Structure 1
Amino acid sequence: MQPFKRILTSFFLLYGLSHYAYSQLFFTDGYIVLASGDTIAGQVRERSNQLIEFRPGQSASAQPYSPQQLISYYSDGTNRVSVRITEEGKVSTYFMREQVDGYIGLYSLQKAENHLTHAIRLPDKTFVPLRGNLSLLMLARHLTECSDPKFKQLLNPQTFYIATSKLERIIKAYNECVRPAQSVPRQRKVFRYEAGISVSAVENSWVYGHTDKLNTVYYNPFGKFSSMYAVALGGFFTVAPQKRLSPGIELLASWYKGSRSVPLTNPLDPTAQGNRLYTFNETYIALPITARYICINKAIRWYLKAGIVPTLSTSVHGKYSDTNLNLHNDDIPILNKTNIGIGYIAGIGLDFTLKKKRHFYFELRTMPHLVLDGVTRTATSRSFQATLHIPLAKHK
Structure 2
Amino acid sequence: MQAAASAHRLHLFSPFASPSLSQPLAKPCAIRVRNPAAATVRMALREDGPSVAVVGVTGAVGQEFLRVLSDRDFPYRDIRLLASRRSAGKRITFEDREYTVEELRPESFDGIDIALFSAGGSISKEFGPVAVERGTIVVDNSSAFRMVPEVPLVIPEVNPEAMSHIKLKGRSGKGALIANPNCSTIICLMAATPLHRHAKVVRMVVSTYQAASGAGAAAMEELVQQTREVLDGKEPTCNIFKKQYAFNLFSHNAAVLPNGYNEEEMKLVKETRKIWNDTNVKVTATCIRVPVMRAHAESVNLQFEKPMDEDTARQILEGAAGVVVIDDRDSNHFPTPLDVSSKDDVAVGRIRQDLSLDGNLGLDIFVCGDQIRKGAALNAIQIAEKLL
TM-score class, shorter-chain normalisation, is under 0.3
**Which one has more relative contact order, counting CA pairs under 8 Å at least 6 apart?**
2
TM-score, reference length from structure 1: 0.26
Q: Which has the higher strand share?
A: 1
Q: Which has the higher helix share?
A: 2
